[in-house]
Structures are given as C-alpha cells and as structure tokens.
Amino acid sequence: MVLNRKEILERIRRGKASDNGSLVITPLLYEKEKEKDVFDADSVDLRLGCYFLLPKMLDRPFFSPDKSSATSLHVRVHVPLGQFLVVPAHQTILGATLEFIKLPADVSGQVLTKSSVARTFIVVETAPWIHPQYRGCLTLEIANVSNTPVLLYPGRFICQLILMHTARSSRNRKAGAKRTRNGEEKPDPSYFGPVYPEAPKFNDPQDDLLKIGMTCVSRLKKTQLDWKDEKWSERKSEVEEW
C-alpha cells in the first residue's frame, strides 16, 4: 500500500530518529502552509544535491566490475548551490539527493524521475528500489538521453520518492541478515549512511563465482598497443585464467 501525504507527514513527525517506525527526510525546505510544494498526494519531491560522480576516461578499452570499481570509474565533482553542471548529450552521471533519508523498518521506497524533468529527456534511476531501514542520501543515476546538453542545478527538484508499507515479518528479512541489539535488521554497512553519491562496490568476479563452486574464472587482460610496420596496432585481447 502506498503511503499518502498524511501518513508520510505523520511518520516524519513521529518520535525520535531512532524510532523504528520514524521516517527521516532532511533538510525539508518548504513553507509550513504550503506542504504541497514538497509533498504530493502520495509522494515526496526530492532535490538534487551538490556532489556528482562523472565517468572517467579509462586507460583500458573496457570496464570490469571488480574491487577497483569504487575508485576506477568515476571522478568526483562539487557544484555548490547557485551553480550548475552540464550533462552532455547521451551521457550518464551519478548524483545524489540533497535530502538524507532514513526509511522505517516497515516501509520500502521507490525513486522516480519527476515528470517535468523526464520531459526534458533526463532520466533518473534505473535501480530505483530502496529497502526498509535504508539511510543515506540516495545515489541517482542521471542520464541525459536527449541530443542536447542539459544544465542541472543542485537544489532543484529532480525526483520523487514513493513510499510503500511492507509487512514486517521475520520471513521477509534478507537471507543471512543480522539483527542489532534492539531487534532491527542490520542495514548493509557498505552502503550505510552515504552523504555523497556512491560508486558501486563489487567483489572480484572470482570471489563471487567461487561461492557457487566456480574455481576457474576467465578474465580479459589489458589490451596493449604494438608498434608494427610504422603504425600502432592493437594486440588482440587475451583471455587468461585465474
């Protein structure tokens, strides 16, 4: 069941941040008499934050999701409020919401592009689901699918958060999830409480595949260029095995 404005506001005003049922969205910038500026009938509008991860030019012709992903794929950029970032045509960047969010233990969330933003051919999020108890600024994949560069201003609304009630039961806990002392499920510590957009975190493929019994895993070696016949030519990529 999707939470309506009244329920969302009630959750926000409920008790302390440590209360399992409370919802945190901070900072909430709206006039008290004009709740509709931020809270729609069944969603909350979120603003774009000031930090971004832009794709880096790689020194190899491919990207392999492994342990080095957190630092190898992106370059971090700060754009203060009042300034803008240009997203080139057909490029995707990572941003984050200005708002820090903590979901209650019985609420899941989904992030959708604001319709007005979508009509400028900016698409936010392709992995929009937020698990109960998540806390942090939401990392947003922002794609400019138009043919022209688009300016993004931190502080402007970019997406909307839809909140849904999730029945709490020991059965729907994530497999293997541990509990804290007061009984709540421990959130994933690797994505716990970020305030900047987060680069993806992967294990090396051989570690992941070992868990399902694969002991022999191929990897692509870095392609090299050779000087032959007075011109550079690409040496064919080789496959080697761990």
Partner 1 sequence: MQTGIAAFLHDAAVLYTLADFIEKYCKEQARSQRYTDASGDFFRYSQSVAHEVKERLGHDVDRAGNLPSSRVDTLRRNALTFKNYLRVLHTFIKPVADAHTLSIPAPLVELACEHLRQIQGMSGSRVAVLLTPLLMYFQRPHTHVKQQAETVGRLIPEAEEFPPRLGFIELPYSQGPGFFTNLAIYHEMGHFVYEELSTSTSPIAQFVSLAQATDRSLRRFTKLQKDAQLQRLAEKIIESWTQEVFCDLLALYLVGPAFSFALVEIFALLGSLSREKRVTFSQEHPAPAFRFAEHVEFLRNGCKWWSAIADVKPDQKKLLLEFSEISRRQYTVYEDDVPKALIAPFLDTIVPRIRELVRGIAPDATPAAERFSNERETIEDCLKVGVVPHSRVGGPPDPVSIINTAFCFYLTSLPDIVERFEGTKAAASAEKRSEWTRKLEDWTMKAIEDSQIQSQFERMQRDGPQQERNSRTHT
The active-site residue, picked from 7, 10, 35, 141, is 141
- Look at residues 171, 235, 222, 226 and name the one whose alpha carbon lies nearest to residue 60: 222
- Which of 2, 6, 26, 151 is in the footprint of partner 1 by CB under 8 A? 26
Q: Is 141 a catalytic residue?
A: yes
Minimum distance of partner 1 from residue 186's CB (angstroms): 6
Residue 235 binds partner 1, judged by CB under 8 A: no
Span interacting with partner 1, options 38-46, 97-105, 159-167, 201-209, rule CB under 8 A:
97-105
Residue 213 binds partner 1, judged by CB under 8 A: no
**Contact at 8 Å (CB) between 45 and 114?**
yes
Q: Residues touching partner 1: how many (CB under 8 A)?
A: 33
Residue 189 binds partner 1, judged by CB under 8 A: yes
Q: Which residues contact 101 (CB under 8 A, 6 or more apart)?
A: 23, 24, 25, 109, 130, 134, 135, 136, 137, 138, 161
Residue 135 binds partner 1, judged by CB under 8 A: yes
Residue 193 binds partner 1, judged by CB under 8 A: yes
Give CA–CA dist 132/93, Å, rounded.
Answer: 26
Residue 12 binds partner 1, judged by CB under 8 A: yes
Q: Which two tokens stand for residue 45?
A: 């509008």
Minimum distance of partner 1 from residue 54's CB (angstroms): 12
**Contact at 8 Å (CB) between 8 and 24?**
no
Residue 18 binds partner 1, judged by CB under 8 A: yes
Residue 142 binds partner 1, judged by CB under 8 A: no
Residue 84 binds partner 1, judged by CB under 8 A: no
Give CA–CA dist 112/99, Å, rounded.
Answer: 15
**Contact at 8 Å (CB) between 133 and 166?**
no
- Which of 8, 38, 44, 100 is in the footprint of partner 1 by CB under 8 A? 100
Residue 39 binds partner 1, judged by CB under 8 A: no
- Which of 81, 89, 214, 220 is in the footprint of partner 1 by CB under 8 A? 81
Minimum distance of partner 1 from residue 207's CB (angstroms): 19
Residues with catalytic function? 141
Binding region for partner 1 (CB under 8 A): 12-13, 16-18, 24, 26-27, 29, 31, 76-81, 83, 98, 100, 102, 135, 137, 178, 180-181, 186-187, 189, 192-196
